[in-house]
């Protein structure tokens, strides 16, 4: 019975992943269709004249001009996004390095916790308790010195 539940859970996860992939692919197809329609629209705007020149109607020129402006803006945006991506990748590398370094530095502690968790817990509690007592003593000393000044 438990195996059936596990299999069902695994299959449900696979179905969910496949649905997400399908949704993503449908979005990409939609965008691709829009791009193809825009390309064909632009190519159909110009009419060849006698001297192998191309002529556009004012409305078509306005459309092409708007597309060109959008392209220039998009290039700037893409450039900014590429910079942000490079910075994010650099930050990720830095964080991974820091994690790996910390993971290696705490290797002995993690091994000790595996072998003697109770002893490690007692040692840590003892350290914190000593630290707490030192802080309380320091506070008491400060209060006494303030009381004497008053």
The reply to whether 136 falls in a domain is yes
CA distance 115 to 94: 32
- 54: part of which helix (H) or strand (E)? strand 54-55
* Residues counted in the chain: 150
> Which residue carries 């069902």 as its tokens?
8
**Residue ranges making up the domain that contains 10:** 1-43
Q: Look up the pTM and report it.
A: 0.47
Tell me whether residue 110 is in a domain.
no
Give the chain's mean pLDDT.
84
User: What does the alpha-carbon distance between residue 144 and residue 150 come to, in Å, rounded to a whole number?
Assistant: 10
Counted domains in the chain? 3
Together in a domain, 39 and 53: no
DSSP letter assigned to residue 131: H
Identify the CA nearest to 61 among candidates 47, 71, 50, 40: 47
- Work out the percent of the chain whose per-residue pLDDT is above 90: 29
Mean pLDDT over 34-40 rounds to 73
What percent of the chain shows pLDDT beyond 70? 95
pLDDT confidence band for 147 (50 / 70 / 90): low
Amino acid 94: pLDDT: 95
Residues 18 and 59 occupy one common structural domain: no
Q: Specify the 3-state DSSP secondary structure of 47.
A: strand
């Amino acid at each position: 019975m438990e195996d059936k539940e596990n299999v069902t859970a695994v299959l449900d996860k696979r179905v969910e992943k496949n649905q997400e992939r399908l949704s993503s692919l449908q979005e990409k197809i939609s965008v691709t269709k829009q791009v193809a329609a825009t390309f064909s629209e632009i190519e159909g705007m110009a009419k060849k004249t006698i001297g192998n020149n191309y002529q556009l109607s004012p409305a078509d020129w306005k459309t092409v001009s708007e597309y060109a402006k959008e392209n220039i803006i998009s290039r700037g945006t893409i450039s900014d996004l590429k910079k942000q991506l490079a910075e994010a990748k650099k930050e990720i590398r830095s964080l991974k390095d820091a994690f790996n370094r910390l993971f290696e530095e705490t290797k002995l502690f993690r091994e000790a916790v595996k072998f003697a968790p109770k002893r490690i817990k007692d040692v840590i509690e003892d350290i914190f308790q000593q630290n707490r007592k030192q802080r309380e003593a320091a506070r008491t000393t400060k209060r006494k010195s303030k009381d004497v000044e008053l």
